[in-house]
Amino acid sequence: MSDIKKASSALVSVFSKDGLAPLVKKMHELGITLYSTGGTEKFIKDLGIPVVAVEDVTSYPSILGGRVKTLHPKVFGGILNRQDHQGDIAEMEQYEIPQLDIVIVDLYPFEKTVASGASEQDIIEKIDIGGISLIRAAAKNFKDTLCVSSMEDYNEVLEILTNNNGGTTIADRKRYAAKSFAVSSHYDTAIFNYFNSDHSIPALKISENKGQVLRYGENPHQRGFFFGDFDAMFDKLHGKALSYNNLLDVDAAVNLMNEFTGEAPTFAILKHNNACGFAQRDTVYQAYVDALAGDPVSAFGGILIANTEIDQAAALEIHKLFCEVVIAPSFSSEALETLKGKKNRILLIQKEVTLSETTVRTCLNGALVQDRDAKTDAQEDLTQATNNKPSDRELEDLLFASKICKHTKSNTIVLAKNKQLCASGTGQTSRVDALRQAIEKATAFGFDLQDAVMASDAFFPFPDCVEIADNAGITSVIQPGGSIKDQLTIDYCNENNISMVLTGTRHFKH
């Protein structure tokens, strides 16, 4: 090809040497002169390959404990010179600057060092200065220079150089320049976010190196992408690729089930990000059966999640249902084989991963950022607002319902009994409408709401909701409180022997 530019020299300066040897050997075989420094120089020498020390070019040693090694005009001139520019060519000769056609750099592992819990001093020392400068310089001058900034690219670069006798095309170099700026911008984002961990500077920097193109977005006419390390959270055992909507439902399922980590076997069925079935029982089998009973119609095509291993008994029941995704910490071998019986059914093992402390969503011409709602209503948070006190069974159901309510779209009302979701009213513009929707749905599926409990994501501005609930047989209520008319609701409960507790915490979810 006419646009192939053959390399005559390469600067190699990396932190990790994994996978580097074959590339270095090939460059030597192709007659490419190698320049290096420090540990990389030693690594190349140990391979029996000649290498020119950067210090011999600059006539300046590595100083300040290795903080300054490659920051020198004879290095950056060799990278940034325009090879078709007469003035640059003349200066290269005048100052005896060697040409550098390839730059291979691997940055200090800043993010890994932060994640390891290292001291601030160790973290600061992992802020790469020379490496990031080399990357930016080589990527900027992609017309003449190939920049390789990730060990993940070594094999492809080896193939390119082998096929082109040590050469690269302008398309190759421009593509690698884009990759290199992705590396440098991600690196700087991680550093900024470390220094701005308290969010004292009102700036939003987000960078994800891993991403995938989805079949489409929320609807087939919309493009869709996922950026994040899905494999860090899940082992995908079976099924088709996850869709945009699958991922939203999986996110909702994981956040909901996190509320029940370490508790008795619990099973949830979600549809459009809301729980349509939920139960906690002595066995995962019974938990699934009772979750399904909450709404067997909506469960069709839903997302299923358990907080414990799914065994064969549960799997045989699940297999009768058409569902998109099944998530669990583990599957028994028999259960796995049963559930693989549907070729498109997605089976995920959820790993123990800490979710982000903040949530982000686009808004107008910018973004909204907030702390994740990490508050889970607990018994010690409750204030008894009524003369009538909840029974122990009602108290357990109230906290159970409150957790589900927190993860249901507002306005919402959740009805529960004996640690089973009877029904919920979701995403209604009126809390009264949400309650009526929940009662109608529970009744349609045969639930007896006598002695059931009610949870609300926000306060009742009027006593109408507790009156409607009372007429349906509900005997205990949990809500945040905070309305200027709380007393009207409390008075109705007292007059009708309904117990009510206040959490003091609203859980809107929009």
Residues with a catalytic annotation lie at: 140, 272
Q: How many CA atoms lie within 13 A of 237 on its CB side?
A: 22
Angle at 40 between CA 38 and CA 46, to 5 degrees: 105
- The four Cα atoms 400, 401, 407, 408 give a dihedral, to 10 degrees, of 160
Find tokens 């290292």 and name the residue: 118
d(C-alpha 433, C-alpha 465), whole Å: 9
Find tokens 């819990």 and name the residue: 117
Which residue type occupies 373? D
Selection from 106, 168, 166, 155 nearest residue 134 by Cα? 106
d(C-alpha 397, C-alpha 421), whole Å: 9
Q: How many CB atoms lie within 10 A of CB 138?
A: 29
d(C-alpha 135, C-alpha 82), whole Å: 16
Find tokens 């907080």 and name the residue: 307
Q: For 479-504, b where at least 16 C-beta lie within 10 A, e where not — what string?
A: bbbebeebebbbebbbeeebbbbbbe
Task: Please check whether residue 180 is in contact with residue 149, taking contact to mean a CB–CB distance below 8 angstroms.
Answer: yes
Which residue type occupies 3? D
Selection from 120, 403, 370, 138 nearest residue 258 by Cα? 403
d(C-alpha 397, C-alpha 422), whole Å: 11
**Contact partners, residue 321, CB within 8 Å, separation at least 6:** 292, 299, 300
- What backbone phi and psi angles, to 5 degrees, belong to 227? -115, 115
DSSP 17-39: -TTTHHHHHHHHHTT-EEEE-HH
Q: For 298-328, b where at least 16 C-beta lie within 10 A, e where not — what string?
A: bbeebbbbbbbebbbbbbeebbebebbbbbb
Task: Please check whether residue 69 is in contact with residue 38, taking contact to mean a CB–CB distance below 8 angstroms.
Answer: yes
* Through-space distance between the first and last CA atoms of the chain, rounded to whole angstroms: 56
Task: Please check whether residue 315 is in contact with residue 334, taking contact to mean a CB–CB distance below 8 angstroms.
Answer: yes
